[in-house]
Amino acid sequence: MKTAIVAASSQGLGKAIAAKLVSQGVHVMLASRDERKLHEVAEQLNALGKGKVAYTVTDVTNPEMIERLVEKTAETFGDIHLLVNNSGGPPTGTFTTLTDDDWQRAFELNVLSYVRLIRAALPHLKKTKGKIVNIASSSIKEPIPGLLLSNTFRLGVVGLTKTLAQELAPYGILINTVAPGRIATERVAYLDEQHAKKLGIRKEEIEARMKATIPLGRYGTPEEFANVVAFLLSDENTYMTGQSLLVDGGMVKAI
C-alpha cells in the first residue's frame, strides 16, 4: 500500500487529487491551515473505504510545520511514496502595486514551500523510489495579466522540477510539473470576481469571455485535473520525468 502527502488538500485541486488517490487505495496525509475543512475532507474520503486518510494542520510557509507533516506521515503510515506539492495562489497585482512583503510571501508560499517539503520528504522518497508532482499554473507557458507574482514564481517551480529530475534520477525518483488552466475551483472563481469588479461587469460575463478562449468551451473540473496527476504518480508512469504538462482544455496557444 502506498502513502502520499498532498499539500493544500482541504479544497480545490488538492482535495480532488487526494480523493483520486484514495479511490485507488493510496493512504493519504492531507495538509492545510484549516483544521475544520481538513476534518470534513478526511471524513468524506475515509467513507470511501479505500485508502486510509489522516490530516496534519500545516502552514507550508512554516519550516517546522513542514518537518512535522513529514514526521507525522511516516509515523502514521510508514514509508512515503508520493508527494504532491501544492499551494494557494499569490495575490493579484501589478509591478507598481506589489510591495517587497508581497514578493517575499509569494516566494515562500509558491517556491520555498516546495523546496522545503521535497527536502524533508527526500530521505523517504529515496528509499521507496517515489514520485513527486509539483502543481503550478498555466502562467508557466503564458503570463496571465494581473498575476505578476504567479507569472514569476511558477516558472521557478519549472526550473526546480527540471533540475531535480536530473539530480533525483539516480534514486529512481520521478518528478514532474502539472499546470492547471481554467479549472472550476474557488481560486478561479475569486479571480473571475476580481476581474469583473475591475471592469465593472458581472462575473458571468467574465466567465463567458474566458470560456470563449478555451477550445473545449468550458472550464475543467478538479477531477479531470486530478486524473492527470494520478497518472504521473501511478505505476503506469515509469519514464516521464522533468516534464511540464498543461491541463487547460487547449487554452494556452504557446508551443
Give how many domains the chain has, as a whole number: 1
Q: In whole angstroms, how far apart are CA 53 and each of 5, 49, 114?
A: 10, 10, 22
Residue 190 lies inside a defined structural domain of this protein:
no
- CA–centroid distance for 47 within its chain: 24
SS3 170: helix
CATH of the domain at 129: 3.40.50.720
Which position has the grid cell 469571455?
209
Residue 204 lies inside a defined structural domain of this protein:
no
Q: pTM for the whole thing? A: 0.95
Q: What is the pLDDT along the chain (255 residues), one digit of tens a residue?
A: 999 999 999 999 999 999 999 999 999 999 999 999 999 999 999 999 999 999 999 999 999 999 999 999 999 999 999 999 999 889 889 999 999 999 999 999 999 999 999 999 999 999 999 999 999 999 999 999 999 999 999 999 999 999 999 999 999 999 999 999 999 998 888 888 888 888 899 989 989 999 999 999 999 999 999 999 999 999 999 999 999 999 999 999 988
Amino acid at 239: Y
Residue 188 lies inside a defined structural domain of this protein:
no
Residue 191 lies inside a defined structural domain of this protein:
no
Q: Which domain range does residue 122 map to?
A: 3-181+221-247
Residue 202 lies inside a defined structural domain of this protein:
no
Residue 208 lies inside a defined structural domain of this protein:
no
Query: 33: closest CA among 114, 70, 88?
Result: 88
Q: List strands edge to edge, sheet with 53-57.
A: 53-57, 27-32, 3-7, 82-85, 131-135, 174-180, 244-247
- Report d(CA 147, CA 101) in Å as an integer: 16
pLDDT in the model for residue 58: 98
159: CB partners within 8 A, 6+ apart: none
Residue 233 lies inside a defined structural domain of this protein:
yes
Residue 198 lies inside a defined structural domain of this protein:
no
